[in-house]
A and B are shown apart, each in its own frame.
Chain A
Amino acid sequence: MEKILVVDDEENIRLLYQEELEEEGYTVEVAAHGQEALDKLKTFRPDLITLDIRMPGMDGVETLQRIREVQRDVPVILCSAYGEYKQDLTTWASDAYVIKTSDLTELKGAIKTLLSRD
């Protein structure tokens, strides 16, 4: 069973993602900020990470860089309220960029594609 780490500072979003993704059959853990995500990386060893960009403290883009330093090959999906960071070159280090909506079809599709790649 593939493991997904959901990183988002909003509790309700974490809960929504967790429930929806668990329903799809994944094992899901959540982290409320970048540091927690880096900690969980070692213990939980996820197969895929969804990462919110706008977070207080260490933001998603910085967290992404730190994740890449530790674990180069884990697929990361950046999630954001809108396309603001799309032309920010540092986001290109992610494997997908999904704009948050209440309809998670696009996110689930991206997860499926990335996990079936390897």
Chain B
Amino acid sequence: MTSFRYRERQVSGDIMREKDRQANQLALLYEINNALLSTMKFEQILQIILTAITIGDGMGFNRAMLFLVDERKNCLTGMMGVGPENAEEAGNIWENMKGKGNGLAENLSTLSRNSSPQGTYLDKRVKKVMVPLDREGCILARTVREQRPFNIDPERDSVMCQNDCELSRELDCVLGSKSKDGDPAYRFATVPLWGRERTIGVIVVDNVYNGHPITEDDIQLLTMFTRQAGLAIENCILYKYLEDAHVELKKVQETLLQREKLAALGEMAASVAHEIKNPLVSIGGFTRRLHKTLSNGLPEKKYTETIMREVHRLEGILSDILNFSKASDVVVEKYDVNGIVEETLTGMEEQLRSQGIEVEKSLGANLPEVPCDYRQIKQVFVNLFSNARDAMRDGGTMKVRTFPLAQDGSDYVGIEIGDTGGGIPSTVLHNIFNPFFTTKGWGTGLGLAICHRIVEGHRGAIDVNNEPGRGVTFTVKLPVEGKVDVALF
């Protein structure tokens, strides 16, 4: 009777423990899931997943590595690795983990926000790994192909990895054999990461430092977890696609708005400028007549000179505005960009020299010719060179570089114009391509807007790299096989 009672109690004790364990597992999964829901950032999701696998309160593996399937290349690519670098560091980390008291979910998300595995030894190594999916005998590839976990214990299993694969070389773990004489046998496990319809990757775990055996329970828990993790990663990737598409759309919308704004502004500017032009011609013209009648040395001669000079300046501004707002002839032919650069520089040499500006030229040899309107592209260079000049009132160095450039499957010629004029205040940087925006206190504020429009019309791009305190570099890209969009002018 007594012994029966005792047995009964023991059995029910086993059941209780089993129930407890299951409850703990569920609670753990729940906590981790909460942490996963706290972010949509790809890196953070990966980090939470791998930290959950390695953290003491979590699943407590020594190291965890995550690989994702690259369908285009038909291979597994290492994305992230989390784990200490050596046994000593491992000890410290586990010590620090203890008694933090906060909930696991909170710990996980704080950890993933505050510390990143990027740059750690393991992470760097993992990121170098690429395993072809069709590789025979590779446990990682088999995990994806057979869609099942592998729990490898060399003392028990005969399943062996190929020796000397990327993983063993990069991660110092000769999978499926002892890493060093005297070390405990290297045990590791792999679980597939499931997405909605396919396997999207593999998680590898090991106990390389403490040599703890990996149990079937461990694998079961890990499998349950990776089902959630896989979905979280897939969601995150989809979300990122969406976000990219959204950003792209926003960009297009901004371009359209900008164009509309420009067109409206252009029309207004043209009619205002036209109304001003005629009176200006009269003022300037009659001042010239007056000027001719005055004998030299009279103070009035200075006055008329001033009027003439100012009228000339105003006329220049007006023609800027009118050229900007109205179409002019576009003649597209193939030109050597270096030729245009050289010609523009020759025209400005004297000004640059007198202002103490040194020109550093490095023009690429054998650049392909670019279809463009000579006059317009020259205008772009004149404007960019003038801006560089104006930024360096006390002298400096203007760097001009031309080079071939391949991007997104198309060939371009790049032209870089850099100054040492201290850069643009970052608060106004977003304005620089807007018409009538200027920081100079003189000029029309049309220079860069004109550049932008011309380059856009050539289906090229103009970028600015601003280093506050140092200088600005503008990069113009012109496509080698381009159709110039005359409608833009």
* Residue ranges of A at the interface with B (Cβ–Cβ < 8 Å): 10, 12-13, 16, 19-20, 54, 81-84, 86-87, 99-104
Contacts and interface: CB of A to CB of B under 8 A. Distances in A.
Contacts of B281: 13, 16, 100-102
A82 B287 contact: no
Contacts of B328: 83, 86-87
B285 A20 contact: yes
Nearest to B280: A102
A87 B282 CA distance: 27
Query: 9 tightest CB-CB pairs across the interface, nearest first?
Result: A102-B284, A12-B282, A82-B322, A81-B277, A16-B285, A102-B285, A84-B326, A81-B274, A102-B281
Interface string B306-340: 00100110010011001100111100000000000
B288 interface: yes
B278 to A, nearest CB: 5
5 contacts: A20-B285, A83-B322, A83-B323, A87-B329, A102-B287
B239 interface: no
Contacts of A101: 281, 284, 315
Contact of A10 (B278, B319, B327, B329): B278
Nearest to A52: B278
A13 to B, nearest CB: 6
A100 B326 CA distance: 16
B279 interface: yes
Nearest to B279: A12
A82 B277 contact: yes
Given A16-B286, A20-B285, A82-B326, A102 B279 contact: no
Contacts of B278: 10, 12-13, 81, 100
Interface in B318-366: 318-319, 322-323, 326-329
Nearest to A81: B277
Of B270, B274, B277, which is in contact with the most chain A CB atoms at under 10 Å from its CB? Answer: B277
Contacts of A99: 319
A82 B285 contact: no
A82 B317 CA distance: 12
B16 interface: no
B323 A82 contact: yes
B73 interface: no
A15 B315 CA distance: 20
A54 B274 contact: yes
B274 A16 contact: no
A16 B312 CA distance: 17
B465 to A, nearest CB: 34
B283 A102 contact: yes
B72 interface: no
B315 A82 contact: no
Contact of B288 (A13, A86, A87, A102): A102
Contact of B289 (A13, A19, A86): A19
A101 B314 CA distance: 11
Contacts of B322: 81-84
Given A13-B282, A102-B281, A102-B311, A82 B289 contact: no
A1 B445 CA distance: 48
Contacts of B285: 13, 16, 20, 102-104
B326 A10 contact: no
Contacts of A84: 270, 322, 326
Given A16-B285, A104-B288, 4 more contacts: A13-B285, A16-B289, A87-B328, A87-B329
A2 B243 CA distance: 73
A99 B280 CA distance: 13
B277 A20 contact: no
A42 to B, nearest CB: 28
Contacts of B284: 101-103
Given A13-B278, A81-B277, A82-B277, A102 B315 contact: yes
Contact of A16 (B277, B282, B308, B318): B282
Contacts of B277: 81-82, 100
A109 B279 CA distance: 23
A84 B283 CA distance: 23
A79 B13 CA distance: 106
Interface in B103-135: none
Nearest to A105: B288
Contact of A82 (B280, B282, B308, B319): B319
B119 to A, nearest CB: 59
B329 A86 contact: yes
A65 B281 CA distance: 26
Nearest to B287: A102
A99 B328 CA distance: 13
Contacts of A20: 285, 289
A97 B123 CA distance: 70
Nearest to B322: A82
A114 to B, nearest CB: 21
Given A102-B281, A102-B312, A82 B274 contact: yes
